[in-house]
Amino acid sequence: MTRLRVHNFAMSLDGFAAGPDQSTEAPLGIGGERLHDWIFETRTGREMIGENGGENGVDDDFVAAGFEGLGAWIMGRNMFGPIRDEWGDEDWRGWWGDEPPYHTDVFVLTHHARAPVEMEGGTTFVFVTDGIETALAQATAAAAGADIRLGGGTETVQQYLRAGLVDELHVPVVPVLLGAGERLFDDVHLLDAFTDVEVVGSGRVSHMRFTR
Amino acid sequence: MTRLRVHNFAMSLDGFAAGPDQSTEAPLGIGGERLHDWIFETRTGREMIGENGGENGVDDDFVAAGFEGLGAWIMGRNMFGPIRDEWGDEDWRGWWGDEPPYHTDVFVLTHHARAPVEMEGGTTFVFVTDGIETALAQATAAAAGADIRLGGGTETVQQYLRAGLVDELHVPVVPVLLGAGERLFDDVHLLDAFTDVEVVGSGRVSHMRFTR
């Protein structure tokens, strides 16, 4: 059974998954990068940015688990790039260079049609214009029995949570306050749908993992 | 040095320290009692309500630590009771029966003067009408070198946090959503004032303890 999984979707102690005033320079909003500092202390996090070192342990286990058993990704357009409205000259091919770290089909939710973009290393960006359920159906077909990881941004995760389509939700709660930004759980009242909750503190962050 | 400490001030994953529509029947608001369920699984929590049993372990350690080394308490009027405006016939002597679990002077913040109320077991409720700094000064004198515990409600804790007067803040984050209520960290931007953060997960809740 293919499962739809959210991993390492970090939230500040005051509930924000991104800071205010997102921009090309601050894709996670002002202060939002503090939500991810802990990731780059882990071995897997360092590997993601082409560096050695980093720690093993609880945090690394959670970061690494987010990449296991995946056959497809789904993400919102704002995670794919900063362009709004029409695609324009279609030069934008994501934040991640020629070889993005996905190595699967990546279904990008957008209101604006665009031909698929094939990248190096097995990643193909496929643009889906008719909603989250279509994206999930296409991703499920592409995953061929493996799981689907749901990336950001906040609004995309909220849409799938509200529709009751998320099978696993891992939220690391980071002990910082952002004061403003995008609240992960605004108008999301479905957490009771998850039957299991795991709570593990690492010293740096608190991992909350909901499954059903 | 007397320190002002907040303990076991539980918050839902969506940031609420109390649910909506507080009343005499639901002093923590609708659903708010779910923030405290974990306490009554601990040995110390069971003792608080006169029962045996309960678990040792991380959660119990945190609950028990909240009662150690105290020489005084401070709380808001809403934690003392449901009466608003004037005290009326002054029959109300708190939620806790003849022998409240404080065993120290308890300074109650209120806009309405009232004579001190001496209870059994060493608890005396002292009503303070001229603000949080006066209450802290009086509590510091009463504590005679021991620490002061700051109880609720949310607004009282926020006032002391905004004034930079809290030395230790322990927030157990509970993996439930309340959807509405009192947000602990609304307009509180002072968490960076704390120099140390401890993050411990117990399986049930995530303990975040800020100190300086």
Q: A169: which strand partners?
A: A6, A210
User: Is residue B125 within 8 Å of residue B80, measured between CB atoms?
Assistant: yes
Q: What is the mean pLDDT of residues A177-195?
A: 82
Residue B107 predicted with pLDDT over 90 = yes
Tell me which of A72 and B49 has the higher pLDDT: A72
Task: Name chain A contacts of B188, Cβ cutoff 8 Å.
Answer: 14, 177
Q: Which amino acid makes up residue A126?
A: V
Which of B206, B207, B208, B211 is the best residue to mutate to test the A interface, defined by the most A CB atoms within 10 Å of its own CB? B206
d(CA A34, CA A28): 9
Task: Give residue A191's pLDDT.
Answer: 67
User: What is chain B's alpha carbon radius of gyration, rounded to the nearest angstrom?
Assistant: 16
Instruction: Compute the nearest-CA separation of A111 from chain B (Å).
Output: 30
Summarize pLDDT for B161-173 with one digit per residue, the tens: 999 999 999 999 9
- Residues A152-173: tens digit of each pLDDT: 899 999 999 999 999 999 999 9
- In whole angstroms, what separates CA B85 from the centre of its chain? 22
The bridge status of strand B196-201 relative to strand A168-174 is: unpaired
Bridge-partner residues for B124, per DSSP? B105, B118
Q: Do B191 and A175 touch (CB under 8 A)?
A: yes
Question: Does residue A179 lie within any of the structural domains?
Answer: yes
A189 pLDDT higher than 80: no
Which of A12-26, A174-188, B135-149 tops mean pLDDT?
B135-149
Cβ B168 vs Cβ B198: under 8 Å: no
* Predicted model pTM: 0.85
Beta-carbon neighbour count of residue B85 at 10 Å?
A: 7
**Which domain range does residue B120 map to?**
4-211
Distance (Å) from the alpha carbon of B114 to chain A's nearest alpha carbon = 36
Q: What is the DSSP string of B48-90?
A: HTT----B-SHHHHHHHHTTTTEEEEEEEHHHH-S--SS-TT-
In this structure, chain A runs to a length of: 212
For residue B154, list chain A residues with Cβ-Cβ distance below 8 A: none
Rounded to a whole number, what is the distance in Å from the CA of A197 to chain B's nearest CA? 7
Q: What is the mean pLDDT of residues B14-38?
A: 89
Instruction: Please give the Cα distance from A128 to A110 (Å, whole number).
Output: 6
Facing residue for B199 by CB, picked from A197, A198, A201: A201
Interface contact B206-A203, CB threshold 8 A: no
- Rg, chain A, Cα only: 16
How high does pLDDT run on average in chain A? 92
Degrees, nearest 5: CA angle B190-B196-B198: 110
Provide residues of A within 8 Å CB-CB of chain B. 13-15, 171, 173, 175-177, 179, 183, 185, 188-189, 191-192, 197-208, 210
How far, in Å, CA of B27 to CA of B20, rounded? 10
Structure tokens at B112: 């309405």
Q: What is the CATH number for B15? A: 3.40.430.10
Judge whether A60 lies within some domain: no
In chain B, how many domains are there? 1
Residue A115 burial (CB count, 10 A): 10
Residues in chain B: 212
Contact yes or no for A60/A43 (Cβ under 8 A): yes
Q: Is residue A205 one of the residues assigned to a domain?
A: yes
Q: Which range has the worst mean pLDDT, A115-129, B17-31, B34-48, B140-154?
A: B17-31
Distance from CA of A123 to the nearest CA of B (A): 34
Position B120 confidence tier, pLDDT thresholds 50, 70, 90: very high
What is residue A17's three-state secondary structure? strand
Residue A40 belongs to a domain: no
Amino acid in position A95? W
CB contact under 8 A, B197 and A175: yes
Tell me: the pLDDT tens digits for A82-102? 888 888 877 889 988 999 999
- Measure the CA–CA gap between A52 and A92, rounded to whole angstroms: 29
pLDDT digits (tens, 9 = 90+) for B50-91: 899 999 999 999 999 999 999 999 999 988 988 878 888 778
B185 vs A contacts (CB less than 8 Å): 13-15, 177
- Residue A31 within any structural domain of the chain: no
Task: Outline where chain A has alpha helix (H).
Answer: 43-48, 58-65, 77-80, 132-143, 154-162
